Amino acid sequence: MNFIGIDLEGVLVPEIWVALSDFTGVKDLKLTTKDVSNYRDLMKIRIDLLNKHKIKSNVLFKIAKKIEPFEGAKSFLCEIRKNYQVIVLSDTFFNLSSPIFKKLNYPTVFCHELVIDKKGMVNDINLCIENHKKLTLKCMNQMNFNTIAIGDSFNDIGMLNEANYGILFCSNKNIQNKFPSFDTCDDYSALLNKINNFFQ
């Protein structure tokens, strides 16, 4: 039995918060998990910035609806779902990224939820569980699956460590240099070949 845990933003689609930064002009919203290793710290920075600049959730939702999968991402995801059990393991938010899931043909996704107040401001997050990516891979290993994890950022390292085979996809040199034990890849065709070769 073969299982793949794959990240969403940076791997299958562009970063929502980078797009929000471009739209609003708030430079520090460009920070992602490639820049800040602690996810809770990153989200505190983001929420503080949203409130400081009075950016309501409807603006965030508007940006998310415009996000398109990377070229080749949808067909790649379809292909691996034909042959393997796949879950998208993401630190995105279900109430934010639903339009993106639709564009990817509704894969199974484990992610979080934004907490929005009556005025439409984001004031907190509901995490499904701490380290859900790592714990998912750990559970799959305990269930005797052969496992692959694919990610691009610091928040993916836990699941890549748990997997039988970890791949950094389109990651930056800083992360690749810090974690040289993981395989690296920059296009979906090569990634598909790596997956199929490992599971043979």
Q: Please, which pLDDT band fits residue 37 given cuts at 50, 70 and 90?
A: confident
What number is the average pLDDT over the span 38-57? 93
50 CA to centre of own chain: 21
pLDDT > 90? residue 8: yes
| CA–CA gap between residue 25 and residue 13 (Å, rounded) | 21
For residue 160, the number of C-alpha atoms closer than 13 Å in the C-beta half-sphere is 22
DSSP helix/strand/coil, 13: strand
Write down the domain spans for the chain: 2-199
The H-or-E segment that residue 89 falls in is strand 85-93
pTM exceeds 0.85: yes
| CA–CA gap between residue 163 and residue 145 (Å, rounded) | 10
Residue 170 and residue 184 in contact, taking contact as beta carbons nearer than 8 Å: no
Residue 74 and residue 105 in contact, taking contact as beta carbons nearer than 8 Å: yes
Catalytic residues: 7, 9
- Give me the CATH code for the 2-199 domain, please: 3.40.50.1000
Residue 160 and residue 182 in contact, taking contact as beta carbons nearer than 8 Å: yes
Alpha-carbon dihedral 131, 109, 29, 32, rounded to 10 degrees: 50
What b/e readout covers 143-179, taking b as 16+ CB neighbours within 10 angstroms? eebbbbbbbbbbbbbbbbebbbbbbbbebeeebeeeb
How much is the pLDDT for 196? 97
- Report strand pairing: 122-126 vs 146-151: unpaired
Most distant CA atoms of the chain, gap in Å: 53
Residue 34 and residue 175 in contact, taking contact as beta carbons nearer than 8 Å: yes
Q: What is the pLDDT of residues 96-112, one digit of tens each?
A: 999 999 999 999 999 99
Per-chain mean pLDDT for the chain = 95
